[in-house]
């Protein structure tokens, strides 16, 4: 029996979406869904929920929970990763509280910025441990990473883990349709081209039957900016740099040095920026789980409709050799020619029986590549820090981050990093 291993299966609702999708795909019948999570209670919940779903959907697949990660991986053909190291308490709280003391405010803190750096530093060692298991018990498996920070973790698995890894993010497939819906434009029959880096990929082209929709998009966006709405940062970036970005305004507010500034507090109001947004979402999710658990886990009548998540479509394409195009995070093997080859980039990829093949993009518009490089600098230095275990590389990653560097002095950035290292304690390996 072929096996799909789901690491981080305690993300029960996401497991329902991803594996529920797979249960509805004919080519993925008779697969074993092997579940692993360090939280035994959540793991049991996921197994129970998916067992009910298999019965309701009439799938011939099976589900099995494992307490041993290596055994969950043994013989896997595909691996789906959704882990979060350190969780909300204590690590996410630390990522926000310590920078706040220095006057450095964040919104999401899971990609770059000081929060993204430390999320990487505590997650990369765990990912490389998983990679060692993969090389031992399922070396030919294809690894799909959903965990943030997407670009650095996918890079680490490919470059240092020796595992064939593709990163999948929700923002690509919804970018153009949601933009058009927000601007009250028809999203049907729309074609688009997206490329860049994760959370900062660019909507390079958006057309309908050969007609360029960008002029109308920009006209309506300019009108929209006259009133408060939830996407003001991306509309401002599109106005100044010419292209729309895949990930949300609350994310992009902290990827750039222009929006969250102590000396210009009016910008927070002007661009409707939700500071400390991710901790609020975490608290909401924790509270929501108390009621959602009953809806999902104990519901023998639970059913499922196929979601927009890429993974079931990718696996179906590989199994059937019917090609499927999707936005994936892969190493930049000359795909985007004006970004560093060492970087992980987000480009259109084709899945078929040969696996996943990324497509060539060429040069991005120079201003777009320049903005991407400001984030790539921090990504690559963070990876350097995780591999070498040198504190200086942590400092350098933070010093190169656009938002952090725009707000704090060199001395404060170094001191903040030291405080974060101390607060994280055993969640980080030793640095020298």
Active centre residues (catalytic): 170
| Contact partners, residue 3, CB within 8 Å, separation at least 6 | 31, 32, 33, 34, 75, 76, 77, 78
Three-state SS for 95? helix
Which segments are annotated as binding site?
Answer: 148, 169, 199
Per DSSP, the residues of 384-398 read HHHHH--HHHHHHHH
Which residues have CB under 8 Å from 112's CB, separation 6+?
149, 254, 255, 375, 378, 379, 401
Q: DSSP letters of 103-117?
A: T---S--SSSHHHHH
Phi-psi region of 390 (alpha: psi -120 to 50; beta: other; left: phi over 0): beta
β-strand pairing of 344-352 with 355-358: antiparallel
**How far is it, in rounded angstroms, from Cα 190 to Cα 149?**
29
b/e map of 238-251 (b: 16 or more CB within 10 Å)? beebebbbbbbbbb
Assess contact for 339 and 373: CB atoms under 8 A. yes
Is the dihedral angle over the CA atoms 4, 325, 128, 19 positive or is it negative? negative
What secondary structure letter does DSSP report for 336? B
Q: For residues 116 and 120, give the distance between their C-alpha atoms in angstroms, rounded to a whole number.
A: 6
CA dist 152 and 343 (Å) reads 8
Question: Which residues participate in the annotated binding site for substrate?
Answer: 148
């Amino acid at each position: 029996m072929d096996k799909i291993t789901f690491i981080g299966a305690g993300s029960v609702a996401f497991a329902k979406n991803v594996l529920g999708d797979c249960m509805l795909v004919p080519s993925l019948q008779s697969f074993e869904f092997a579940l692993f999570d360090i939280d035994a209670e959540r793991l049991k919940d996921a197994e129970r929920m998916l067992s009910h779903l298999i019965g309701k959907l009439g799938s011939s697949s099976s589900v099995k929970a494992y307490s041993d990660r290596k055994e969950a991986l043994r013989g896997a053909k595909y691996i789906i990763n959704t882990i979060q190291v350190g969780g909300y308490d204590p690590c996410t709280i630390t990522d926000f509280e310590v920078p706040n003391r220095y006057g450095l405010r964040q919104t999401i803190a899971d990609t770059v910025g000081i929060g993204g750096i430390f999320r990487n530093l505590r997650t990369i060692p765990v990912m490389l441990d998983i990679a060692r298991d993969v090389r031992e018990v399922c070396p030919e498996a294809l690894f799909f990473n959903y965990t943030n920070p997407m670009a650095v973790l996918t890079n680490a698995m490919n470059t240092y883990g020796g595992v064939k890894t593709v990163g999948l993010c929700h923002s690509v497939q919804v970018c153009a349709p949601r933009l058009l819906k927000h601007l009250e434009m028809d999203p049907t029959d729309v074609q688009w081209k997206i490329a860049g880096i994760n959370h900062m990929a660019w909507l390079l082209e958006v057309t309908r039957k050969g007609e360029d929709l960008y002029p109308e998009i920009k006209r309506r966006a300019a009108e929209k900016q006259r009133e408060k709405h939830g996407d003001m940062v991306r509309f401002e970036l599109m106005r100044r740099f010419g292209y729309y970005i895949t990930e949300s305004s609350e994310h992009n507010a902290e990827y750039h040095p222009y929006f969250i500034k102590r000396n210009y507090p009016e910008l927070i109001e002007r661009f409707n920026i939700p500071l400390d947004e991710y901790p609020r979402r975490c608290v909401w999710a924790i509270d929501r789980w108390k009621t959602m658990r009953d809806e999902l886990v104990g519901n023998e009548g639970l059913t499922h409709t196929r979601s927009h998540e890429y993974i079931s479509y990718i696996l179906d394409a590989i199994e059937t050799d019917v090609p499927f195009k999707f936005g994936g995070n892969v190493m930049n093997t000359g795909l985007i020619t004006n970004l560093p080859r060492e970087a992980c980039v987000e480009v259109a990829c084709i899945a078929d029986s040969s696996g996943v093949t990324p497509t060539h993009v060429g040069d991005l518009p120079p201003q777009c590549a320049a903005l991407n490089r400001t984030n790539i600098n921090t990504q690559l230095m963070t990876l350097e820090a995780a591999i070498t275990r040198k504190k200086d590389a942590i400092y350098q990653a933070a010093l190169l981050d656009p938002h952090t560097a725009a707000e704090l002095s060199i001395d404060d950035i170094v001191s903040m990093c030291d405080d974060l290292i101390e607060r994280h304690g055993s969640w980080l390996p030793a640095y020298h």
